Amino acid sequence: MKKTGIINSEISYEVANMRHMDWLSIGDAGMPVPAGTKQIDLALAKQTPSFMEVLENVLQELKVQKIYLADEIKDQNPAQLENIKQALPDVEIEFMPHTDLKKSLAKTHAFIRTGEMTPYSNIILESGVTF
Which residues define the annotated binding site?
28, 98, 120-122
Question: In the annotation, is 20 catalytic?
Answer: yes
What is the distance between the alpha carbons of residues 84 and 92, in angstroms, rounded to a whole number?
A: 12
Estimate the crossing angle of helix 9-16 against helix 51-59, to 10 degrees: 50
Please list, in sequence order, all residues whose beta carbon lies within 8 angstroms of the beta carbon of residue 5, skipping any fewer than 6 positions away: 12, 57, 60, 61
Instruction: Identify the active-site residue in 20, 38, 46, 74.
Output: 20
Binding residues for substrate: 28, 98, 120-122
Which residues are tagged catalytic?
20
